[in-house]
Structure 1
Amino acid sequence: MDFVMPQLAVGSRADAADGAALRTAGIDTLLSLAPLARPAEVALQLGLAVADRVALPAATIREAAAFLAGRIAAGHRVLMHCEQGISRSPALAACFLHEYLGLPLDESFARVRAARPQAEPHPALVASIRAHYAGADLPGVDLSGNENPVGPSPAARTAILRASAGLHRYPAADSGVLRDALARRLGLSAAQIVIGNGACDLIDLALRAFAGAGGEVLIPDPAFPAYRSAAARARARVVTVPLAGSCYAVAEYLARLTPATRLVIVASPHNPTGTLMAPADWARLRDALPDGAVLLLDEAYRDYAEGHDLIDAAADVRRGAPVLALRSLSKVEGLAGLRVGYGFAPEALVRRLAALCPQYHVGSLAQAAALAALADDAHRRASVAANARGRAVLMAGLRRLGVEFVPSAANFVLLRAPREALARLAQRGVAVKCMARYGLPDHIRVSVGLPSENARFLAALGELLREDHECRAAIPA
């Protein structure tokens, strides 16, 4: 057998039947294109009926590539074999390299031949592979925006269609029905709810309402750049609060509170680290606020942190604490394109925010979709569960690759990047988030995607690391 990449070998039926060789190579998965009883050393085997010297069906190409991607992303080492390892298995190995490493087809075939010189896929196989991928570029994978790969709730899409008949009417100016629904969910009154054009809109309103020109705002560092840009528009004075590595250090906040502090910003889970502030630390910070200051909690990613000990900002609001919590329907609800966010705070603070909102602030389609999405518990559970599975796969894959990363409670992972990772991943059709604007030029952030997207990212990243290793090895000592 010969390895075309560290986790994928190509070989013959004899290679696949050799238990000792499988153990030595660490092979625990077989993709069999020729009949073979599963060896005892193999935990999982997929058999595909693939004839040689005839066109490969598109379904077979997709199934083989997806199986390889899933097993490799999960950390398994796979041997794909046919009878002699000359035609069928090398051909489908090239499909995987093209689809999941983003290599051009010619380069994929060359890569297989370089690893296994006897490989010579039959022209009929090669022609069918070229036809399968012809006519369109390989679709890119965008894992840069922290979007919900599951998509929006079907109920939200239906609500949009229903509401579209009334587009000649102005929307409800106070988003009253949506505010009532949110108030019931949170155990608050509608007067304690404010609706915005996305959470970023409410961040902007908060800076204008509570800090204003010359007001002092405490912002964690690193953090979501929208905090700083909103502060700049409000002409507020920014005081940065460094994280302790990737985690909150409440003592750093406490040390920077002054009588001039007007707004204090916390995000939990934090963007870009995916880490949480402990409720006890939140309580210390809340209780230490100077008179007139407001504590803002950005909880855009809260739904993804189920199972963790989370801050109960609604309880603070019920007690009248000067707290504003913001949440987004762009994430779990999948409504990023409609820009709907909401906040809750004591009524006096909500009135100050609402006074800055223009009339008809949130469109009728956004309000209708938000109501439907909030009521779709099945979509929400499916989105949260899919994210938890994908996040675990990404973090396990990064751990296997030896990449430094921050364990995340959100729908993204921050990791230390290989050399020029952003551009090199883009060349392979994988988009991730540059962290330079966050003050972390040697890091990237990857969103949790669909299983195939997560697999493609891990395969492409592993290829980058392999290239870097070979480059270092080629440099004379």
Structure 2
Amino acid sequence: MDFVTPLLAIGGRADAEDGAALRAAGVDTLLSLAPLARPRDVGVQLSVAVADRVALPDAAIREVVDFLAQRTAAGHRVLMHCEMGISRSPALAACFLHECAGLTLDEAFARVGSARAIAAPDVALLASIRRYYAARLATDRAADRDSDPPFAVQFADLAGNENPFGPSPQAVQAITQALAGLHRYPDLGADALREALAQRLDLPASHIVIGNGACELIDLTLRRCAAGGGEVLIPDPAFPAYRSAARRAGAHVIPVPLTGADYRVEAFLERLTPATRLVVVASPHNPTGTLMSPSDWARLRDALPEGAWLLLDEAYRDYAGAQELIDACADVRRGARVIVLRSLSKVEGLAGLRVGYGFAPAVMAQELAALCPQYHVGTLAQVAAVAALADERHRADSVAANAREREALMAGLARLGVDFIPSAANFVLLRGPRDALARLAARAVAVKCMARYGLPGHIRVSVGLPPENARFLAALGELIREDHECREAIPA
């Protein structure tokens, strides 16, 4: 069997009858497109009569996708099988990816093919799938615009800046294969992961440090650079973890206000003193989603006082696409006092495993690593991270889908007349209606309150799957209309 998402595998009859393989993969649900008695190891099975080499009935597509959506949303791992796993199950897996992962049909077929090389859905099946979704799109466009959006979801969690497509199937497979070795301690130096990152970054592995999430590396950097009263320049507003880590280290925080949503390098330069020990920059910035230009970065880097370091948080770098980005790798290669942090929680989708990494001149990287507790990054996190970094298809699909949906989300906000900041990341900061957090939650939409960031009255919405974004925009539109009607009802 081959996983096309972390919770959906496709295969043939032999895969469905292999109880040991089902148990090892954690599969508890079968969707059978070929006759098969329910195996003892499977708790739930749905059998759907689907013939090969003929058009798929609309009702069969609907039944299969609805079943897969229901089971995977509840966290169950499903194997969908036909006789050989070549035609019918790959075709219907693409339908699921199209509706529930937001991929175009062509992207969905490519994803299935990359996961299962032998997949070759019959042309009649493919043609019927395209006709089905073309007809459905036409129906949706003709429907009342105030009705529920197509492919509606029950709850949209858009608060955490997570990858809504989940982790790489290769990462999930690597975890499964590593389970039998959990009685052994993890690799203390995370050598395989550091080597994989060294190749990707074109840096020696000695320049790389692995953390239990990027937040641990923020803590270590503050302890190393600014403990006991050193000054730390932190953008305002910014990710609260910087201030928290500075307080724990006993550092003195110097806020650097952003100009609107943008970095103004002069504001940093004006605040540099001989007591400065660390300057924090995030690009794309959280919560604004904006970038610092490479030229401003160079000015700030070159102006650092003796003994000070420049910390660049690039957790969201992958989402910035073709925009002009800071080349911090070049700075590190030439020994500049630069520490760069990145995360595997975002594009790689490993937020639940807590894997982050940093790179810096070798001496600094070694000093940060020496501050780490022993065995602070577990075996499953390490093997999943190595596999995720190798999965270029998942990375490319995630970045492309985020760019597409981010533009659609911002276009929807513009239509609603909402004040928002154009973003280069996988979230958008906007000014929310009154009591937006609670009123959106009442409509089954979760977003992030920005009061803790020093932005009362603002919310941050993550870029989700198409139905999640549609649900958010519909709910936000309802709030705006309610507020407008309330204002009109108040006597002048």
| Deviations 1:82-136 (CA, angstroms, capped at 9, x unpaired) | xxxxxxxxxx977x28996xxxxxxxxxxxxxxxxxxxxxxxxxxxxxxxxxxxx
Match of 1:380?
395
Matches within 5 A, 1:11-410: 79-80=142-143, 96=148, 139-410=154-425
Instruction: For 1:181 and 1:335, locate their aligned partners in 2 and report how far apart those are by CA, in whole Å.
Output: 16
Structure 2 regions of 5+ residues with no counterpart? 1-57, 70-94, 103-132
SS state at 2:280 partner: strand
Quote the residue 1:448 is aligned against: 463
Q: What is the SS of the residue equivalent to 1:337?
A: helix
- What SS class does the counterpart of residue 366 from structure 1 fall into? helix
Write the distance in 2 (CA, Å) between the matches of 1:330 and 1:384: 13
Distance 2:63 2:197 in 1: 50
Matched residues, percent identical? 70
2: CA distance between counterparts of 1:289 and 1:384? 34
Instruction: Assess, with a 3 A threshold, how the Cα gap between structure 1 residues 99 and 303 changes in structure 2: closer, same or farther.
Output: closer
Moved >2 Å (runs of 4+): 56-60, 76-81, 96-100
SS of the aligned residue for 2:483 comes to helix
1:431-442 alignment runs, 5 A limit: 431-442=446-457
The answer for the alignment partner of 2:428 in structure 1 is 413
Give deviations 1:9-60, integer Å, cap 9, x for gaps.
xxxxxxxxxxxxxxxxxxxxxxxxxxxxxxxxxxxxxxxx99xxxxx99989
C-alpha separation in 2, matches of 1:294 and 1:309: 23
**Which amino acid is the alignment partner of residue 262 of structure 1?**
R
**Structure with greater Cα Rg:** 1
Change (3 A) 1:180 1:456: same
Instruction: Report how far residue 139 of structure 1 moved.
Output: 3.1
User: What displacement does 1:80 show?
Assistant: 3.1
Name the SS of the counterpart of 2:418 in structure 1: coil
CA distance in 1, matches of 2:376, 2:436: 40
1:239 match: secondary structure: strand
Letter in 2 for 1:350: A
The CA distance in 2 between the partners of 1:321 and 1:274, in whole Å, is 26
Contact 2:156 2:468 in 1 (8 A): yes
Could you tell me how far apart the structure 1 residues matched to 2:65 and 2:463 are?
26
Query: Match of 2:310, as an amino acid?
Result: L
* 2: CA distance, partners of 1:285 / 1:317: 15
Comparing 328-337 with 209-218, which one deviates more in the overlay? Answer: 209-218
Residues 149 and 471 in structure 2, CA contact (< 8 A), matched pair in contact too: no
Amino acid at match of 1:261: T
Inter-partner Cα distance in structure 1 for 2:453 and 2:274: 28
- Cα deviation code 1:304-358 (max 9, x no counterpart): 0011000000000000000000000000000000000000000111122111111
Q: Distance in 2 between matches of 1:317 and 1:59?
A: 48
Corresponding residue for residue 26 of structure 1: none
Q: Taking structure 1 as reference, are residues 340 and 57 closer, same or farther at Cα in structure 2, changes over 3 Å only?
A: closer
TM-score scaled to structure 2, two decimals? 0.71
| Corresponding letter in the other structure for 1:472 | R
Q: How has the CA–CA distance of structure 1 residues 473 and 79 changed in structure 2, closer, same or farther, with 3 Å as cutoff?
A: farther
> Given that residues 190 and 382 in structure 2 are in contact (C-alpha distance below 8 angstroms), is that contact kept between their aligned partners in structure 1?
yes
Which letter does structure 1 place at the counterpart of 2:143?
A: M
- Partners of 1:341 and 1:464 lie apart in 2 by 38
- Checking the alignment, whether the CA contact within 8 Å between 2:149 and 2:467 is kept in structure 1 is no
Root-mean-square deviation (CA, aligned residues, Å) is 2.8
Alignment partners' CA distance in 2, 1:424 and 1:432:
11
**CA deviation map 1:410-435 (0-9, x unaligned):** 00000011111110000000000000
1:356-393 Cα distance to aligned partner (Å, 9 max, x none): 11111211100000000000000000000110011011
Counterpart amino acid of 1:267?
A: A
Cα offset for 1:140? 1.9
Tell me the distance in 2 between the aligned counterparts of 1:184 and 1:142: 35
